[in-house]
Amino acid sequence: MKEIRLKIVTPEKILYEGMVESVSFPTTEGEITVLPHHIPIISAVKAGELKMKVSGKEEFFHVTKGVLEVDGNMITLLTDSAERSLEIDEKRAQEAHERAKQIMSEKRTDVESYAEAVAQLERALSRLKVVRKRRSGGRSPFNK
Between 141 and 23, the higher pLDDT residue: 23
Contacts of residue 111, defined as CB under 8 A and 6 or more positions apart, other chains included, come to: none
Q: Is the CB of residue 37 less than 8 Å from the CB of residue 31?
A: no
Nearest to 4 by CA among 27, 32, 28, 38: 38
Q: Render pLDDT for 79-109 as a digit per residue (tens, 0 to 9).
A: 987 777 556 556 676 666 676 667 667 666 6
Give the CATH H-level superfamily of domain 4-85: F0F1 ATP synthase delta/epsilon subunit, N-terminal (2.60.15.10)
pLDDT of 54 > 60? The answer is yes
Q: Render pLDDT for 16-30 as a digit per residue (tens, 0 to 9).
A: 999 999 999 999 889
Q: Render pLDDT for 106-124 as a digit per residue (tens, 0 to 9).
A: 666 667 776 766 666 676 6
